[in-house]
Structure 1
Amino acid sequence: MSWNKIVYNFRELQLMGTLSGGQSFRWVHHKEDDVWVGVFAKTVWKLKENDKCLQYEVIGSLLDNQTETKSSGNIKTEKVDYKTILEGYFRLDMDLGVCYKEWSSKDELFRKACNQFYGIRMLRQEPVENLFSFICSQNNHISRISSMVEKLCTHYGEKICEYDGKDFYAFPEVEKLSEPQVADCICLMSLNHLEALPVDTHVYQIAAQNYLPHLRGKKNVTDKMYVEIGDHFRSLYGHMAGWAHTVLFCADLKKFQQKENCNTEENSKPKKKRKKL
């Protein structure tokens, strides 16, 4: 991928203050190359700024799969206008210099602050993500909120792509968050219903690959599949099926696999003999 550009006055947008100031919790700053990587509009972006323009790359997007429209019986593919999406996200159609000048004339404290914190944009965010992000924000700090939001996306969102060894997910639709597994998580983890088994994408993959091969290759977990998977593990493990399956879930996670591999390699190394005194 090559960098695309949006030309603007550098004082009109400051990425550091805008993306790490507590508005959105899905941006990570890579200091070594001064690049921001984040997710919005079901798209994974890389952003970089200089004194002349905003540079951006689209790493991956689910929007590419939603651009086919039918017209007179024919399928027409429309190209996604990522530049317009990005401009809308940062509200770059608004002249921030004019606003800053007006606010500075009315407030001495703002006039002093805006010298360092220029170009702070109010992001145009998706309502559902914004709502759930700030539900998570109650009595939490930014890093923990970011972690909570990412867990929501990982467990319930649709995978966009993999980049630099990490999987990126879109924020889940509100319908997805209202499905039965949201309630099953609470039952299992908070209400002592140890037989409850939340069936998300990862649980489905474990079941399909190892227990229920006829479910392989399905794009979505239907209500019927949800019940079938849960009933299978309840028949297998009994009244603590949810707890038992959590062990399988952990074993399937890459980070635990890597840790296990490290432990195995460590244990396989020949031990050094102690020197006699």
Structure 2
Amino acid sequence: MNYKVLDDKIVVYDKNCFNAKHILECGQIFRFKQLANDDYVVFSGDKKAQILEKQNCYEIVCSDVLYFENFFDLNTDYQTIKGELSQKFSILNEACQYGHGIRILKQQPFETIISFIISANNNIKRIQGIIERLCTRCGTNMGDYYAFPTQSQLETLTVGDLRALGMGFRAEYVFNTTKLLKGVNLQKLSKFSTSKLLEFLISLSGVGPKVADCIALFAYHKMDCFPVDTWIKKVYNQYFLDVNESIVAKGTNILQKDNVCEQTKNCAKCENISGTNKTETAFLNDENQTTKRVEDVKIIRKNLTELFGNLSGYAQQYLFYYKREMDRRGI
């Protein structure tokens, strides 16, 4: 990643691996606003950064450059990650090209937990409105914006206060989880294994498997998580159903090298493993295929994490963003 850290800004020269719209509008964060053109402002905790697009670069203007260098995960080589994902499936090649500038943010755990509880069965505009009202209600006044509330600040609100912000049934979840987290060092949870972390998160009020996966991925960078929602269910049933039947059943990770079907190197459903994907589109998109749809989220999550291993989180973001945007455009 080609970038330079200055006193009051970060200059990112590699626009193929950094795009403000892709990063902020791929479902991983809610506290941002679009400014003129393709410029944005993003908030994290009590911090703010403006992302300004220039002809040959992006400028991340902020008062804490080291924080936002980590926040945008600038030290990770996304070009290599996209290359690994793209070479195996044509759909991922398309998705990585479309959302080429996605980077998975490193967000603050408490803010991520509360934000994704609020996000359950909700739409983006409403989620953003609720969170903004929450920040204004009890977050620290930073001058031209309000910080996300700390745990102690949020503890001052009642269920009624939270309902008044428009949270509805989620108010009780936020209230109860805030109490449950009192005295918990959320940063130390990063040392937990993914399974242990998910177990803890699901014990919180209002946190189910999908929300837990989102928190683990976006706050703790657990890349072996694959949050499954409506868009991922569509992707799975359209592009990965047959792949999972023929490969995951054998306990195979699709991203392992030199992994060839023992039956024959010309097996139509495994051919992409040996370096070619000539038949991939044909059998994945066959409108006449008789394979039944899979609706069980647990099965979809299990199969996709087995397919992508420690690249699951990256694959999820590229696929989610691509499918959602294509459907919105009627493609």
Identify the TM-score tier after normalising by the shorter chain: 0.5 to 0.7
Distance 2:117 2:12 in 1: 36
Query: Which of residues 134, 141, 147 is equivalent to 1:152?
Result: 134
Q: Identity of paired residues, percent?
A: 29
Question: Unpaired runs of 5+ in structure 2?
Answer: 1-6, 169-331
Paired position in structure 2 for 1:178: 155
- 2:20–2:39 CA contact under 8 A, matched in 1: no
Q: 1:131 to 1:188 in 2, by over 3 A?
A: closer
Q: 1:18 to 1:174 in 2, by over 3 A?
A: same
Distance 1:53 1:87 in 2: 15
Query: Which of residues 100, 122, 130 is equivalent to 2:104?
Result: 122
Question: Unpaired runs of 5+ in structure 1?
Answer: 59-79, 163-167, 191-277
CA displacement at 1:144 relative to structure 2? 0.6
Paired position in structure 1 for 2:196: none
The RMSD of aligned alpha carbons is 2.4
CA displacement at 1:131 relative to structure 2? 0.6
SS of 1:106's equivalent in the other structure is: coil
CA displacement at 1:10 relative to structure 2? 0.9
Distance 2:52 2:163 in 1: 44
SS of 2:11's equivalent in the other structure is: strand
Q: Letter of the aligned partner of 2:148 in structure 1?
A: F
Distance 1:34 1:187 in 2: 34
Distance 2:164 2:96 in 1: 49
- 2:10–2:61 CA contact under 8 A, matched in 1: no
* TM-score computed with the length of structure 1 as normaliser: 0.53
- Compare CA radii of gyration and give the structure with the larger one: 1
SS of 2:33's equivalent in the other structure is: strand
CA displacement at 1:141 relative to structure 2? 0.6
Q: Deviations over 1:179-238 (max 9, x none)?
A: 2x3245269899xxxxxxxxxxxxxxxxxxxxxxxxxxxxxxxxxxxxxxxxxxxxxxxx
Q: Letter of the aligned partner of 2:117 in structure 1?
A: I
* TM-score computed with the length of structure 2 as normaliser: 0.45
Q: 1:112 to 1:186 in 2, by over 3 A?
A: closer
CA displacement at 1:107 relative to structure 2? 2.0
- 2:13–2:57 CA contact under 8 A, matched in 1: yes
Paired position in structure 2 for 1:29: 34
Paired position in structure 1 for 2:51: 47
SS of 1:46's equivalent in the other structure is: strand
Q: 1:187 to 1:90 in 2, by over 3 A?
A: closer
Q: Deviations over 1:61-120 (max 9, x none)?
A: xxxxxxxxxxxxxxxxxxx7x222111111010010000000111222110122221021
Q: Letter of the aligned partner of 1:185 in structure 2?
A: D
Q: Considering fraction of residues, name the structure with more strand.
A: 1
CA displacement at 1:50 relative to structure 2? 3.4
Distance 2:122 2:164 in 1: 23
